[in-house]
Structure 1
Amino acid sequence: MDERDLRGLIGRVKSGDLSRRGFVQRMLAVGLSAPLAGLMLAGNGVAMAADLRAAYKPAKAGGGGALRLLWWQAPTLINPHFAIGTKDQEASRIFYEPLAAWDPDGNLVPVLAAEIPSKENGGLAADGRSVVWKIKPGVLWHDGKPLTADDLVFTWEYARDPATAAVTIGSYKDCKVEKIDDLSIRILFDKPTPYWSDAFVGTVGMVIPKHLFAAYTGAKSREAPQNLAPVGTGPYRFLEFRPGDIVRGERNPNYHLPNRPYFDSVEMKGGGDAVSAARAVLQTGEYDYAWNLLVEDEVLKRLETGGKGRVDVVYGGKLEFLLLNATDPNVEVDGERSSLKTKHPAFSDPKVCRAMNLLVDRKSIQDYIYGRTGRATANSVNGPERFVSKGTSFAFDPAKANALLDEAGWMKGSDGIRAKDGKRLKLLFQTSINAPRQKTQAIIKQAAAKAGIEIELKSVTGSVFFSSDTANPDTFPHFYADMEMYAISMTQADPSTWLLQYVSWEAATKENKWQGRNISRWRNADYDAAYKAAQAELDPVKRAALLIKANDLAVSENILPLIHRAEVSGVSAKLVAPRSGWDNDLSFLPEWSREA
């Protein structure tokens, strides 16, 4: 593509003939990054990262009254670096902020940063070994202290310390952060790093104040008062937190963006279930916003007739998936079940894993449960498009599943249940309590029975299943079951961090307080090699190919993608609530307002 072609495309964006997203996709195809594509448009007078802010209407901060949010999975702590579940990440995002966020088109938007680093502004090194971030001047913590480079260096030190047991350690442990001056830092990598926008960006990037956390590092990290009483830089200041119930904040009068926030206070109410949350916004109007409406689409359509609100569907990187435990949950080693020192009696055999995959009727799950809110998928990575594998597929084929189980030596007994070496093929299948998940469980159980697999269903209250409590054996990271199902979101427009959940060194164990991202404990040397190679490959086409290979390896065995889920929310009729499928629901909370 020469300069004339490039200017022609930019002209089409200006005229409205080509969308900004379309432009970015074309730039990705020729090897440019999404952030650089956004900068090219911005440099030619086309609003890109500023779109959400340009759409903001209020002429002054405050005056909007109370913003009432309903999270049917209640948060249990407000420290972003301990936030295992989305509920805790979202609660943290009310008060804490990263240097940058991901917008709906997968582009980086400055938050605490003065600008997005690029080669053009000197922020990105040509060899891929360093990036310089400049901090926006004048940002204050809620207690009035200034945000400085010291806070970023401290956040890096805090998150990378194994004794802290931060869930974000994977984003910080392989880099070095140094202070340049009070308002700039340099992140150094020991090798060329194409995905430099991980640390300090999005969900994993929220910065914490050194002056309040410095006394609570390492083994003392869980004792910090600010784990329950946050002091951040965000649009709202902390007022109250009752774990498992409610979070309350008030407007930050010193917020660093003009005329924001619009609302005078914010309340995040937790508890209940997804259906009652949908009803409270769409039918009764009791709340302004309901998160994660994992509800059958037919139910949502009926509730929308109440006229109080609407269903908002945003596709990004959320995946509903089924994990097959690679370890044995019924054997205890040194006080730990699902230990890496064990192998699952059935799922250590790839043939059994493939058979289980063939017993999942994804089309029925999509058609009868999710409707417009989800798409059946065989991929773990479902976007952006250049990272989506075209080499995977799914099928519902009980006959072939039976044949594979026969080949694996699991033979049917007189009662129709398979057994091998005297052990019956009876599996415990757990998930959180939620109608679509229980219906999905039932569909899978019914098909498995036809193949001679006996499945016992277990449903755990969402606030427990997604809890950060390391002592609770019913949380999903413990995975004390044979199979489990849940959803998480790829909260960056790049699959690097997302794919960490399948690498060997990220296994969740007792030693790391079950904070590792690899919940299934699946380990594969070829996967690890492909993932490592991708982290040093600066050629975007070759890198994408390596990440696609990693995806394909993961979904070939213990990881069974089910539904590419939309981010489905209930929004009150007049609420303006811009969201990104590549970041937290509340990543653009400062831009929320209400129409007159």
Structure 2
Amino acid sequence: MQKFRILLAASAAALAVQAAPAFAERGSDGDLKIIFWQAVSTLNPYLSGGTKEVYSSSMVIEPLARYDETGTLVPMLAADIPTIENGGVTADMKSITWKLKPGLKWSDGTPVTADDAIFTWKYCTAPDGGCAQAAYYEGVTNVEAIDPSTIKISFSEPKPYPYSAFVGAQSPLIQAAQFKDCMGAKAPECTAANFGPIGTGPFVVKEFKPNDVITFEANPNYRDPAKPAFATATLKGGGDAASAARSVLETGEYDYAWNMQVEPEVLEQMMQAGKGKIEVAFGTQVERIDLNPFGVDPSLGDKRSTKEAGPHPALSDPAVRRALSIAIDRDILVEAGYGANGKPTCNILPAPDIYVSTAVDWCLKQDIEGANKLLEDAGWKMGPDGIREKNGVKLSFLYQTSTNSVRQGTQALVKDMWKQIGVDVELRNISASVFFGGDPASPDTFQKFYADVQMYTNNFDGTDPEKYMAGWKCDKAPTPANGWQGENEPRYCNPEYDKLVDTLGKTGKLEERAAIAKQLNDMLSNDGAQIPLIHRGQPSAVNVTLDGVRMNAWDSELWNVADWSRKK
């Protein structure tokens, strides 16, 4: 336990001291132009697990603390980071107490208080609310106001790593006054609040056109009177990754383009124009394939892709899931789509180093012969059409992902690899703004998973994986009952896994936490919960005239947008 206390103290002491640019005055640098080729559908991250929603909303709403570019926990709305040493974390580790910075105001001029934190917790944990970030409040039994600026969070059991609720871009504070009538099932109906949250960040929403463009203005009540340097910001959505890259690297029309999932040789050619550069940070992003364990036939209606649909006639077979994985040549996928920005992996948890398992490497080498033998031994016989079948069920799958040239290239390569083992694939791509949008009325979101197979990437805030690994617990699967929200898109359910996550939450020593995290990773990979493909870097394009960008793989890439300015 002493080692963990030292870790907490070191984390709090190592606050980043990198100097930010000095600004003449707020708003002196005009308009900041950002482009997300995956358009934003809401500015409420509690109603969408999409990275684009989390990043864009981080310009407006903030947590008590977040992670800097080194992975160090730094205060945002909080005055400091609570630890056992400074009395902010109790010795029994069953509660943590945060102090707000003095004089904090919402952008409408009203004070930020502990009651807003209490409300945020109740909002995300409300029945039928479908909160996409529920894992951040796992084990929280109460949030209370000691006084207007002091927030106490209590846990059901000792919490050796207590930095979950209200920490990181995925768990910000929302204003109680604005969202008071948006609890539970009413949450998605509060369009005005979801599209224009009142926040504490450097910008306020002026206008939001869903799946298109957001215009922001500098927050007149931002806590630093000299920031932000930009008077306005425009976040354009839509198009494709190559066009977004070109708008920064070749034409210089935009200042920042997120998620440059573009072939490496294309990016190299664009950068020759000298207008911009690619900044890359490696964090925890893994491109992965979900295999649906449940039936997806449209005739199943509301039961489709849920436990009530019954087991998938083919993908519930462990032999099929493993064969699909070892039939993939990950080296080719990296070479074709990622270059130096990708590494083949069998792990869902690829970083930090202390948590990286070396026990799962069976998928790294393509084995077509082995995959065919697995299927043959499991009774899946090759038909005259080249497609394997068993008991009248064919290995024929719908494979969906978001629209992106690299992802479509990956789909085509995987389809050819799977064809070599007698698996037929129909490819489908969906606009990223829809696929990751989280609209409970849409049949095309990755949460609904109305397909046999789907592909995307995911990661987590910070450097501790506890809340991320909790996302595969049985009760985190998206269903009609929770508005199709939840982190467990692959619908993995293993009671032993759930127990081990709970053990992680009670374990204090860093080495022991790392050992448990590796076990959890190995269970996910070996059980075929998902097929990990590529440990991806996070490349974004930055205009050469933009100053202050500190690429961050541990939080929102826009985490320090208040410090951005135009080079003079």
**Aligned partners of 2:398 and 2:425 also within 8 Å:** yes
Equivalent residues of 1:327, 1:343 under 8 A apart: yes
Partner of 1:592: 564
Asked whether the 8 Å contact 1:35–1:108 carries over to 2, the reply is: no
Equivalent residue for 1:38?
11
Cα 1:554/1:29, change in 2 over 3 Å: farther
Q: Does residue 133 of structure 1 match 2:98?
A: yes
Could you say which residue in structure 1 is the equivalent of 2:421?
A: 451
Cα shift at 1:231: 0.9
The farther-off stretch of 391-400 and 249-258 is 249-258
Matched with 2:185 is 219
Match for residue 193 of structure 1?
Answer: 159
Counterparts of 1:252-401 in structure 2 under 5 Å?
252-330=219-297, 332-333=299-300, 335-341=302-308, 342-393=310-361, 394-401=364-371
Compute the displacement of 1:472 (Å).
Answer: 1.0
- Deviations, residues 237-289 of structure 1 (Å, cap 9, x unaligned): 22111111111111123211352111111110111000000000000000000
For 1:88, give the aligned amino acid.
E
Helix, strand or coil at the partner of 1:320: strand
CA distance in 1, matches of 2:182, 2:487: 23
Moved more, 270-279 or 551-560: 551-560
Report the residue type matching 1:38 in the other structure.
S
Distance, in Å, in 1 between the alignment partners of 2:28 and 2:2 is: 45
Q: CA contact under 8 A between 1:83 and 1:167: conserved in structure 2?
A: yes
CA distance in 1, matches of 2:185, 2:439: 16
Residue 59 (structure 1) shift: 4.6
RMSD over equivalenced CA pairs, Å? 1.7
- What does residue 523 of structure 2 align with? 553
Unmatched 5+ residue regions in structure 2?
A: none
- CA drift of 1:583 comes to 0.5
Amino acid at match of 1:352: V
Q: Does the Cα contact within 8 Å between 1:178 and 1:187 map onto a contact in 2?
A: yes
Whether the 8 Å CA contact 1:198–1:204 is kept in 2: the answer is no
- Structure 1 unpaired stretches of 5+: 1-27, 43-47
Give the structure 2 partner of residue 24 of structure 1: none
What residue number does 1:574 align with? 545
The code of the aligned residue for 2:70 comes to: D
Q: Distance in 2 between matches of 1:238 and 1:339?
A: 37
Q: What amino acid maps onto 1:89 in structure 2?
A: V
Q: Secondary structure at the match of 1:275?
A: helix
**In the aligned structure 1, how far is the partner of 2:6 from the partner of 2:204?**
35
- 1:116 and 2:81 aligned: yes
Encode CA deviations 1:62-94: one digit per residue, 9 max, x unaligned.
211110000111111111211221111122111
Partners in 2 of 1:98 and 1:212 — Cα distance? Answer: 17
CA distance in 1, matches of 2:289, 2:87: 44
- Secondary structure of the residue aligned to 1:555 is helix
Does structure 1 residue 426 correspond to structure 2 residue 399? no
Q: Is the 8 A contact 1:246 1:267 kept in 2?
A: yes
In the superposition, relative to structure 1, how do residues 333 and 33 fare at CA in structure 2: closer, same or farther (>3 Å)? farther
Q: Does 1:51 align with 2:17?
A: yes
Which residue of the other structure, out of 221, 242, 245, is the alignment partner of 2:212? 245
2:197 corresponding residue in structure 1: 230
Q: Which residue of 2 aligns with 1:67?
A: 32
* Greater relative CO, 1 or 2 (CA 8 Å, sep 6+): 2
Deviation at 1:37, TM superposition (A): 1.7
CA distance in 2, matches of 1:502, 1:326: 14
* Structure 2 partner of 1:21: none
Measure, in 1, the Cα distance between the counterparts of 2:225 and 2:522.
46
Figure out how many residues of one structure are paired with residues of the other and give that number. Answer: 561
CA deviation profile, 1:398-436 (whole Å, cap 9, x unmatched): 000001001111010122210000111111111011011
User: What is the CA deviation profile of residues 111-141 of structure 1, one whole-angstrom value per residue up to 9, with x for unaligned ones?
Assistant: 0000001112111112121111111111111
Q: Which of 177, 185, 191 pairs up with 2:143?
A: 177
Task: Please give the secondary structure, in 1, of the residue aligned with 2:426.
Answer: strand
Per-residue CA deviation, residues 125-171 of structure 1 (Å, 9 max, x unaligned), is: 12121111111111111110000111111111111112222112222
Give the deviation of 1:330 after TM superposition.
1.5
Q: Distance in 2 between matches of 1:122 and 1:424?
A: 61
Q: Deviations over 1:356-415 (max 9, x none)?
A: 110111111112210122211111111111111111112211000001001111010122
Tell me: CA distance 1:595–1:29, structure 2 relative to 1, closer, same or farther (3 Å): farther
Q: Does 1:87 align with 2:33?
A: no
Q: What percent identity do the matched residue pairs reach?
A: 41
Q: After superposition, what is the alpha-carbon deviation per residue over 1:30-89, rounded to whole angstroms, capped at 9, x for unaligned?
A: 6566552233xx4xxxxx42334x233325332111100001111111112112211111
Report how far residue 592 of structure 1 moved. 1.4
Which residue of structure 1 aligns with residue 127 of structure 2?
Answer: 162
Q: State whether residues 386 and 544 of structure 1, in contact with CA within 8 Å, keep that contact through their aligned partners in structure 2.
A: yes
- 8 A contact 2:415–2:424 mirrored in 1: yes
Distance 2:169 2:565 in 1: 22
Alpha-carbon distance in 2 for matches of 1:59, 1:494? 38
- Other structure's SS at 1:511 match: helix
TM-score by length of 1: 0.91
Query: Match of 1:319, SS?
Result: strand
| Worse-matched range after superposition: 183-192 or 216-225 | 216-225
Q: Is the 8 A contact 2:42 2:437 kept in 1?
A: no
Q: Report deviation, 1:501.
A: 2.8
Amino acid at match of 2:541: G
- Structure 1 equivalent of residue 63 of structure 2: 98
Greater shift in the superposed pair: 169-178 or 320-329:
169-178
Q: Secondary structure at the match of 1:179?
A: strand
How is 1:497-576 mapped onto 2 (pairs within 5 angstroms)?
497-556=467-526, 557-576=528-547
Residue aligned with 1:185, SS: strand
